[in-house]
Amino acid sequence: MKEDKTQPKRVGLFVTCLVDLFRPTVGFAAVKLLEEAGCTVEVPMAQTCCGQPAYNSGDREDAAAIARQTIEAFEEFDYVVAPSGSCAGMLKKHYPSLLKGTPHEARAEAFSGRVHELVSFLVDVLGVRQVPARHEGSVTYHDSCSGLRELGIQQQPRALLSSVEGLELKEMQNSDVCCGFGGTFCVKYPDISNKIVEEKTASIEGAGADTLLAGDLGCLMNMAGKLHRQGSRVEVRHVAEVLAGMTDKPAIGGGGR
Amino acid sequence: MEIQSPQFKQKARKAIADEQLQRAMGKAKIGFVGKRKKAVDALPEFDDLRSSARAIKDHTLEHLDLYLEAYERKVIASGGRVHWAETAEDARQAVLDICRAAGARTVTKGKSMITEEIALNDFLEKEGVRPVETDLGEYIIQLRGEHPSHIIGPALHLNKEQVEEDFRRVHTELPSGRDLSQPESLLGEARQILRPQYFQADVGITGANFLVAETGTSIIVTNEGNGDLTQTLPRVHIVVASIEKVVPTLEDASQILRVLARSATGQDMSVYTTLSTGPRRPDDPDGPDEYHVILLDNGRSSMLGTEFHEMLRCIRCGACMNHCPVYHAVGGHAYGWVYPGPMGSVLTPSLVGVDKAGHLPNASTFCGRCESVCPMQIPLPRMMRNWREREFERGLNPAAQRFGLGFWAFFARRPGLYRLATSMAIPTLSGLAGRRRWFRSLPFAGGWTRHRDLPAPESRTFMQQWRDRETLKQGGTSA
């Protein structure tokens, strides 16, 4: 895609409900990264959640209402960017099928074309190759499912992480296997979810890194919560925090033990 | 087979606590995933083959009636008979009638999920006909009185020590000091026991991986050769297959074969790919005197044209369950009926009703790994969601869940109110956490905190902080 270099790009930030409520730091990291890459960032107040809890529970009516509301709130922007593969996947891949055959169909299609997950937006659309960040220590990266399989996010975060000064990436085994979060799944089937996240935390510990990173706060809270319950010393952060050089803030849950 | 899917949660919990099962699953998942990956990586055109396999089935399903009738004509022309069975009951009865007419006391069986679906073994036994499973895995679980836990590895839930114990318990005629410590010695012993059964059997029953309309041929793929002996040695061969197994031509079947074994076991081809067309002809060296095909519908035709239509592309390779974190965690029996894993979570509600199998499409994280490896590109997560939609429409999900969802949706659809509520609740919750910043338990969050801690919200919401920042930018003049 040929980009117009003269006009700054207007980005509407879809904060995601978990970042809004639990970890605003990720939102500010996203803003910093986007502004450093030359975008102007705005945050429409008419956003709430992407609607996945309803959509994945079979409640199409509420999901469609939330989809329409989100599309309308972000219609004026060149791009819609979310610091989450799961929520970006919902906006990009599922809104069009959810609103198919309704008066919003064409708008959902047009909207879909402007939606991106944060890190892949930086790399694939803006052509960012390195970030001016520094992080002393080793990290391991979990590939969250929706970002990986719906949006093809895998090499982009690793490419940017490799540009962070002082950072060493230690890959875990099976980084592409689900962490067991699954949205409402983790509270509807807690025992199964627990079994899956136990496998994941074993992989994380096996990597021997100080910090766990991923691009989705839901997965991160799940893994962080399990690591903390197990007494692990591994710190957990959203990848945007490291890329934005904001690791002076406490990790999820205030750090390790 | 009794449908135990409503007890999915209890069965899953038991499975997670079952150390033997967990040991077996741990080994299985590493094996299947690695072998498939190696086979796929070695074939650069694999994704194109998937697309072409999918196109073949899509085309066939569009004209299913035509191809089934063409297939029937060819079977009859080659001297065989076709029995149309609308229900499991019809299919069982058709098998029994053939066995009775043949005066059969013993039938040998090749591995077949369709005969599991119609619960054939129990029925035949009750009617005085002894079924003998000849696939090693099926033989083992028949000894144990169990059902398959995996569609291509029926005894996947077992460790070899358990099998050794079963063999010593049942094969009492063999010397007790024999060495059964290796898988090969177990296989050898099963072969030794099964070999005479093929000659005793009056009828051999197999499933089919494909039915070929062009020639009236049924095709099975196996690794042990037991299928060949089952369908050539007894006097009567019965093929039990469901209607979506038909493909137009031999060329089509061989196209799909290229993705089948690679997806299933990581082999380029299974060891045996066996084609059978009609009964023995006068100049054939061997083969059965009678050749019957029982074509089972059992609810499949009612999936055509619905959002579950694409499920009928499934070729039963098992790749979806081999890559499913939920299947890995709980094993196949927890699903409570014949078909486990992602394909079962879509197919079981179609065949037995979503009121009974409602848990299955819900017990998925939607990680999408199943769809990404499915050789027929079946959108399994999408169809699981479609089942959830049907459940929601019919009010089948628990009241507490519906209430919670309704409460949340009320706010999520009203951004102003949502902002107000969260800007009060979140700082409060953050404050409650105190200096520890973690909750070990929290009212209404037991599903979460039973197994993990919950990190406290940082402080105020992003939106609150963002508004402050914007106000500050504008000179801090407005409130």
CATH of the domain at B231: 3.40.50.10420
Report yes or no on B208 lying in a domain.
yes
Task: State how far the Cα of A60 lies from the Cα of A72, in Å rounded to an integer.
Answer: 18
Q: In chain A, which residue's Cα lies nearest the Cα of B372?
A: A149
Same domain for B272 and B145?
A: yes
pLDDT at A191 over 50: yes
Instruction: Output b/e per residue, B374-383; b: 16+ Cβ within 10 A.
Output: bbbbbbbbbb
- For residue A46, give the 3-state DSSP assignment: coil
Averaged over A46-65, what is the pLDDT? 97
B330 to A182: CB separation less than 8 angstroms, yes or no: no
Residues of chain A positioned with their CB less than 8 A from the CB of B454: 221, 225
Say what the pLDDT of residue B475 is.
Answer: 74
Report yes or no on B24 lying in a domain.
no
Say what the pLDDT of residue B343 is.
Answer: 98
CA–CA min distance B37, chain A (Å): 13
Say what the pLDDT of residue B478 is.
Answer: 46
Task: State how far the Cα of A61 lies from the Cα of B186, in Å rounded to an integer.
Answer: 56
**Of 3.30.450.20, 3.40.630.20, 1.10.390.10, 3.40.50.11810, which CATH number belongs to A129-252?**
3.40.50.11810
Report yes or no on B219 lying in a domain.
yes
Q: What type of residue sits at position B413?
A: R
pLDDT band (50, 70, 90) for residue A256: very low
Residues of chain A positioned with their CB less than 8 A from the CB of B385: 55-56, 58
Report yes or no on B6 lying in a domain.
no
Say what the pLDDT of residue A4 is.
Answer: 55
Mean pLDDT per 10-residue section of chain B, whose length is 479 residues? 94 97 92 96 97 98 98 98 98 98 96 97 97 96 97 96 96 94 93 93 98 98 93 96 98 98 97 96 94 98 98 98 98 98 98 96 98 98 98 92 94 97 96 92 89 96 95 69
Same domain for B230 and B98?
A: yes
Report yes or no on B88 lying in a domain.
yes
Over the stretch A155-177, which tens digit does the pLDDT of each residue have? 999 999 999 999 999 999 999 99
Task: State how far the Cα of B118 lies from the Cα of B124, in Å rounded to an integer.
Answer: 11
Q: The domain A9-124: what is its CATH number?
A: 3.40.50
Torsion angle of C-alpha atoms B43, B46, B49, B55, degrees rounded to 10: 180
Report yes or no on B411 lying in a domain.
no
CA–CA min distance A203, chain B (Å): 14
Work out the burial of residue B27: count CB atoms within 10 Å of its CB; fewer than 13 is exposed, 13-18 middle, 19 or more buried: exposed
pLDDT at A255 over 60: no
Domain boundary among B254, B274, B298: B298
Task: State how far the Cα of A7 lies from the Cα of B74, in Å rounded to an integer.
Answer: 69
Q: At what angle do helices B183-200 and B136-144 cross, to 10 degrees?
A: 80
Measured from the Cβ of residue B105, the count of other Cβ atoms closer than 10 Å reads: 13
The secondary element (H helix, E strand) that includes residue A54 is helix A52-55
For an interface test with B, the pick among A21, A40, A177 (most B C-beta atoms closer than 10 Å) comes out as: A21
**Token pair recorded at residue A7:** 């006009």
Domain boundary among B298, B314, B331: B298
Report yes or no on B306 lying in a domain.
no
pLDDT at A217 over 50: yes
Number of domains in chain B: 2
pLDDT at A150 over 50: yes
Report yes or no on B250 lying in a domain.
yes
CA–CA min distance B16, chain A (Å): 7
What is the residue range of B57's domain?
43-298
Provide CATH 3.40.50.11810 ranges for chain A: 129-252
**Token pair recorded at residue A59:** 């409640």
> Which among B392, B455, B467 has CB closest to A221?
B455
pLDDT band (50, 70, 90) for residue A183: very high
Say what the pLDDT of residue B476 is.
Answer: 57
Report the percentage of chain A scoring pLDDT > 90: 95
